[in-house]
Structure 1
């Protein structure tokens, strides 16, 4: 289904509220994920810079970004699972079937009851892979783009932050889209169709071709772009107000 067809279908079957399905676990996930990854990235980057006596190298930022994403996503994975499952409920609603979950608490309870506590970590492998790739794109690209622009003489202002955020969102989407497709399919499945991350990857490519791994690239970028812009601009302004140095 094409992007515009998907929008029309959601509006027709669920109404405007359908676009916000899974909002509460999505907010919970970001509170856990974003806080932990940003704090860890800054700490590791600062320590690396002190050891080098200069700014961390690009490959070092990439490694730090990937590691930060792994930790943040490991902590937030249960909330991410619930978000994906609640969003997938839209298919049931479109078929006039009852949704599996009435809310975030109901989703957590039913998943633990049916699959055990470890059921909350279904899809952890692709989830961690995606998070590492996203953060290499997000944190490393933003950090590097911003320092490149500052080095060219541009002032450390909202314009530089917004431009760096745009670059960050593009590279984060480009790197993470294949893992995101695999992660979403495994987490939304719930029937054991895929044995593991590699199996899902191979089945997807075999049945739909390599380009299937980039299904949803545009909506993913559209989702990441405003998030990146909002997050980085607000984050930088809050740092400035609190008297902290720029990111």
Structure 2
């Protein structure tokens, strides 16, 4: 074996490149989002009912739900929430990671690259997850309607099958435009801003890559996402909750909403939306980071399927 040239200083001997880290399972984001959404479901339910019904105030809407359906009523439509998270959220986290690779958005990527990756992921996930989104919104909003106008779905799969049977396959695309638009805004603001804030916090050397850093970055991301997404979120809920010919027209819903509520209808339900999205965003990223830690721990101990 040839000896190393001792005339070459050790400082210029190229170090062996560390082995590439194995990607995390694609489903981690969906699991993290499902856990978070299950905990905050009552707040999401209240937000949807404020947006799509005549309820005016958050506390009054909660009292109305408990009065008419009991405490269990705060978890109406939970199966729709699970369906939505395991379709839309699983897809968006996977697509975001793949989009970052495509755009070369590494650890210290500029904000515009992260936002572009988030927008790409949102467009894909918004389309893929649209049926689950409709099912979730309808299940959550049903008991806020008069009895004669309710869909009376038993669970998420019953809702999906009945929609296809009673309204045609095209019903699964109801509100897909506003939903994709909202998903683009959500992922560009929530996922991208979390990565951006986390990177900026770590640069200050006041934070380490731990739960405090994750909490602070996700808190900031939740506020940004709520404000950016509110107009599209309101439109999506109103269109998806509507029924009858012509009721899925985005322009028609905007005209009716402007006439009834004025331009501020775009931010109707902002407080419950923030109250719901803020803890949801925090829980999603804290859970996701811990799931990643769990995968790293398992791999170190020989669990190769994670």
The TM-score, its normalising length taken from structure 2, stands at 0.73
- Structure 1 residue corresponding to 2:180, chosen from 123, 128, 139: 128
In proportion to residue count, which structure has more helix?
Answer: 1
Contact 2:99 2:120 in 1 (8 A): no
Structure 1: gaps (5+ residues): none
2:35 equivalent in structure 1: none
The two structures, once aligned, show a CA RMSD in angstroms of 2.1
More displaced, 96-105 or 203-212? 96-105
Distance 2:256 2:116 in 1: 30
2:252 equivalent in structure 1: 199
Distance 2:245 2:215 in 1: 42
- Structure 2 residue corresponding to 1:46, chosen from 101, 107, 123: 101
Distance 2:255 2:148 in 1: 32
Instruction: Show CA shifts across 1:81-131 (max 9, x none).
Output: 111111221124x65886521222221121111111121121111111111
Distance 2:74 2:238 in 1: 19
Contact 1:90 1:99 in 2 (8 A): no
2:18 equivalent in structure 1: none
Large movers: runs of 4+ above 3 Å? 94-99, 192-195
Distance 1:140 1:4 in 2: 32
- Structure 2 residue corresponding to 1:69, chosen from 119, 122, 129: 122
Structure 2 vs 1, CA of residues 11 and 33 (structure 1 numbering), >3 Å: closer, same or farther? same
The SS at the match of 1:243 is helix
**Are 2:164 and 1:116 equivalent residues in the alignment?**
no
Distance 1:73 1:96 in 2: 31
Structure 2: gaps (5+ residues): 1-55, 298-306
Instruction: Show CA shifts across 1:13-68 (max 9, x none).
Output: 11112221111121111112222211221222234337xx8732211211210110
The alignment of Structure 1 onto Structure 2 pairs a total of residues equal to 241
Residue 137 of structure 1, CA deviation: 1.4
Q: How is 1:84-163 mapped onto 2 (pairs within 5 angstroms)? A: 84-92=137-145, 95=147, 100-153=152-205, 154-163=207-216
1:80 equivalent in structure 2: 133
Distance 1:223 1:109 in 2: 29
Distance 1:232 1:146 in 2: 11
- Structure 2 residue corresponding to 1:218, chosen from 271, 274, 285: 271
Residue 151 of structure 1, CA deviation: 0.6
Distance 2:261 2:119 in 1: 29
Residue 157 of structure 1, CA deviation: 0.5
